[in-house]
Amino acid sequence: MEIVVNGVYLGAQYALIALGLTLIFGLMNVLNFAHGQMFVLGGFVTYGVTERLFSGLHFPLAIAFFLGVIAAALVLMVVGGLFERLFFRTVINRSARDESTMLLAAGTAFLLDSVILILFGQQQKGMPDGQKLIDGVFSWGSVLIAYDRILVAGISFIMIVGFILYMQWSRTGRAMRALAQDKMAARLMGVNVDFYTMLGFAFGAALAGIVGGLLFSVTGINSGLGDPTSIKAFTMVMLGGAGVVSGAIMGGFILGMLESVLLSLLPLIGLGDLTHFIIFASLMVFLAIRPQGLMGKPWG
Amino acid sequence: MKKFFTLRNTRVVGFFALAILLLGIVPGPLILAKNWYLMGNFTNVALLSLISLGVWLTFSMGRINIGQGAFALIGGYASAYCVSKLGWSFWVSLPLAGILASAIGVIIGLPILRLRGVYFAMVSLTLTQVTTLLALSDTMAPITGSSQGISNLPSPPALTIFGMTLIPSFDSLPDTKVGFYYLSVFLLLAGFLLMYRLAHSRQGILARSLQQNEELASSIGVNVARLRLISFAISSFLGGIGGAVFIANLQSISPSAFVVKDSVDFMLYCFVGGLSNVVGPIVGATVLYFAWDWLSVMGNYQLFIYASAMISMMLFLPNGLLSIKIDGLLDFFNSKKQAIADKKNGAKAKPSKRRK
């Protein structure tokens, strides 16, 4: 039972990460290598703001933290928007092959990595004074979960639902969905393609930043997390189907659940360190049967 | 469509083959000057280029391969295991490493080569990570030595066939590095010629047709799946060989020998050099390797400058370094030849067809 709850907690966060990636992918056909780095940057911005407000200005921790997460979202939004405007748009316009954006994406990942290293160093950072957002552990029968995890999972859920509603009902969301479906048609219908592409990239980055901020409150953050996070996000997007919002959410929850279940069951038979190998192997078998992922359009 | 057996292309190939051969002559002064450091760098560049050539091959058929690090790691471990645990000669383990990497490439390639574009890129990236994790795991420890890896690999012994010494024992050389230098330059030359032959053979041209339109290619009777699998097998073979030599040169292997970053690097070498020419990955590897090396004096800002340079290169030269010279030269030569041909035919010189 605890495994399942843990899986839901992991899944909510993973889904949020995958959402940002799939949004960027759907809109621009760009594989954002720097997604994990954006996640880490979000965590560090949250850390910086929380630390300053809590220790320097003596804000209550919860308020300092939420301001930190909002700051992370805003900073990442600006970063994402600038990246799109300055780098990706130019290259997409000039390059002969679509894949060339991959080099650019890898370049931006390196750039963010170096910026994070220069600004924040290599140390692991956690909540100031080692405090928790909410102390205590929720227990119900055999289930034991720390309250802060529940809170983080809850916020992630609200974010996911909010994001879906926003994409479904708002003017911006409609424009973005139109863009993801058919760029030319959207342009003909009077959608400002350039603006909404930029906005989409900014949103995707902001989502990564928010998860970084949320996760920071539970497990802390360090500069080495970028690549593994990107890889996990890729796995989820593969599972669910690239560029599809529902797919990203499903992929996130499936991966969270798989990780939680396998990590607690496999050690029982002495194979705990093979968890990720088994996940990958099953991913390959799955892709052999269904190459476009669960919800994806064929060939994305 | 460019013509591939024009005079100019033969010259380019000859030029680069010569340049690589020259690299083989360069160590003379380097050995005399005992500049092992520079020679070591050249060795690494040659090996990295060899590994990237495989990536280039998968690129040429429209697959973005970010899994080459996995095959290099597999090759490295295979060779290290054979040499250290089984006590075999390095020269036996080298082809074995390549064959094993290529066999695994086929097994993995069967399901995932059907994926396209970004899908394939994502899976291959995951593959690298999983291989690293697998090498780290305790379950595989009897073979891989877990996080400590395998160290103290002996340097390659002499290779004798029928009493004739083909390759002297590396220990007998003034420095084992010299042996590795020659070996890697030779392998790169062989790999380059093979790849050039391949790229301009029937198979290579078919592979390029896959990059443009797979359905069309298969509809005119190209066995798409088989073609992809063969290319991927060759690619992982090169990865395995390169990894094995790399490991032997380092004399030790650990799971961190080839990680995701290396896989991304191999892909970047191809991009930076340019995807339209076999020489691309070699140029890219040379430029990026030495750029990284020279920037190390910048300390903390090394990665920052490197990344900025890469981004600005992308902004101004999105089709790779070779895109400037090669295309320009090509136009230049073609227009000249055209002019000569026109003169011979007594026709009016047509305006040269330039790419916009």
Say whether pLDDT at B207 is over 90.
no
Could you tell me which residues come within 8 angstroms of residue A239 by beta carbon, excluding any fewer than 6 positions away? A247, A250, A251, A254, A255, A283, A286, A293, A294
Cβ-nearest to A234 among B115, B125, B275:
B125
Sign of CA dihedral B181, B186, B187, B189: positive
Residue A144: strand pairing partners: A139
B262 contact residues in A (CB cutoff 8 A): none
Length, in residues, of chain B? 356
Q: How far is residue A278 CA from its own chain's centroid?
A: 23
Exposure of B8 in the CB half-sphere (CA atoms within 13 A): 16
Facing B137 at nearest CB: one of A227, A238, A274: A274
Tell me the helices (H) and strands (E) count for chain B, helix number first. Answer: 15, 2
* More reliable by pLDDT, A105 or B149: A105
Contact check, Cβ <8 Å, A231/B129: yes
* pLDDT for position A97: 67
Please report residues of B whose CB lies closer than 8 A to that of A228.
129
Query: Worst-scoring range by mean pLDDT, A9-18, A127-136, A273-282, B271-280?
Result: A127-136
What value does the mean pLDDT take over residues A12-24? 86
Ranges A98-102, B110-114, B120-124: which has the least confidence: A98-102
Nearest Cα to Cα of residue A151 among A215, A222, A204, A203:
A215
Paired strand residues for B253 = B150
**Rounded Cα gap, residues A152 and A147, in angstroms:** 9
Predicted confidence band at B100 (pLDDT cuts at 50, 70, 90)? very high
Task: List the one residue out of B106, B119, B102, B131 whose CA is nearest residue B63.
Answer: B119
* Local structure of residue B348 (DSSP, 8 states): P
CB contact under 8 A, B111 and A284: yes
Predicted confidence at residue B349, as pLDDT, reads 43
Mean predicted confidence (pLDDT) in B213-236? 84
pLDDT confidence of residue B27: 60
Residue with tokens 């009016």: B348
- Give how far Cα B130 sits from Cα of A15, A40, B71, Å: 21, 21, 12
% chain A with pLDDT above 70: 91
CB pairs under 8 A between A and B: 145
**Cα(B158)–Cα(B3) distance, integer angstroms:** 44
Could you report the per-residue pLDDT of A155-171, keeping only the tens digit for each?
888 888 888 888 888 88
> Other C-beta atoms within 10 Å of B300: how many?
10
Q: Using H for helix, E for strand and C for coil, what is the string for chain A?
A: CHHHHHHHHHHHHHHHHHHHHHHHHHHHCCCCCCHHHHHHHHHHHHHHHHHHHHHHCCCCHHHHHHHHHHHHHHHHHHHHHHHHHHHHHHHHHHCCCCCHHHHHHHHHHHHHHHHHHHHHCCCCECCHHHCCCCCCEEEECCEEEEHHHHHHHHHHHHHHHHHHHHHHHCHHHHHHHHHHHCHHHHHHCCCCHHHHHHHHHHHHHHHHHHHHHHHHHHHCECHHHHHHHHHHHHHHHHHHCCCCHHHHHHHHHHHHHHHHHHHHHHHHHCCHHHHHHHHHHHHHHHHHHCCCCCCCCCCC
Residue in A90, A98, A238 closest to B122 by CB = A238
What distance in Å separates the CA atoms of residue A195 and residue A133, rounded to the nearest whole number? 37
Taking a contact as any Cβ pair under 8 Å apart, which residues of chain A between 87 and 146 contact chain B? Answer: 87, 90-91, 94-100, 102-104, 106-108, 110-111, 113-115, 117-118
Distance CA A227, CA A236 (A): 14
pLDDT digits (tens, 9 = 90+) for B301-348: 888 888 888 888 777 776 677 666 555 555 555 665 666 666 666 544
* Optimal mutation site among A30, A88, A103, interface B, most CBs of chain B within 10 A: A103
B130/A31 Cβ within 8 A: no
Q: Judge whether residue B285 has pLDDT over 60.
A: yes
CA B248/CA A238 separation, integer angstroms: 36
CA distances from A212 to A13, A110, A217, B329 (A): 9, 18, 9, 49
Question: Is residue B253 helix, strand or coil?
Answer: strand
Average pLDDT, chain B: 78
**Nearest one of B45, B46, B51 to B242, comparing CA atoms:** B51
CA distance B270 to chain A (A): 10
What residue type is A281 in one-letter code? A
B139 in Cβ contact with A274 (< 8 Å): yes
C-alpha B234/C-alpha B256 separation (Å) is: 24
When pLDDT is cut at 50, 70 and 90, the band that residue A299 belongs to is very low
Q: Do B58 and B266 form a contact (C-beta atoms < 8 A)?
A: no
Chain center to CA of B136:
25
Residue A158, amino acid: I
Query: Which residues, in sequence order, are bridge partners of residue B165?
Result: B160
Closest to B234 (Cα-Cα) out of B68, B79, B116, B92 = B68
For every residue of B131-167, DSSP letters joined together read: HHHHHHSSTTHHHH-GGG-B--PPPP--EEETTEEEE
State whether residue A223 sits within 8 Å of chain B by CB: no
Q: Which one, of A181, A103, A272, lies nearest residue B59 by Cα?
A: A103
pLDDT at B8 over 70: no
pLDDT band at B106 (very low <50, low <70, confident <90, very high): very high
Report the pLDDT averaged over residues B5-17.
Answer: 60
Are A277 and B138 in contact (CB < 8 Å)? no
Compute the average pLDDT of residues A34-49: 88
Q: Under a CB-based contact definition with an 8 Å cutoff, are residues B216 and B93 in contact?
A: no
Residues of A in contact with B137 (CB under 8 A): 273-274, 277
First-to-last C-alpha distance (Å) of chain B: 15
Residue B332 confidence (pLDDT): 55
Region B271-299: what's the mean pLDDT?
A: 82
- pTM score, two decimals? 0.81
Distance of CA B110 to the CA centre of its chain: 22
Q: Please answer yes or no on whether B126 and A110 come within 8 Å at the CB atom.
A: no
Contact B318 A25 (CB under 8 A): no
DSSP designation for B275: T
Question: From A292, which residue of chain B is nearest by alpha-carbon distance?
Answer: B115
The one-letter amino acid code at B68 reads Q
Tell me, yes or no, if B2 comes closer than 8 A to chain A by beta carbon.
Answer: no
Distance from CA of B28 to the nearest CA of A (A): 37
Residue A35 has pLDDT above 60, yes or no: yes
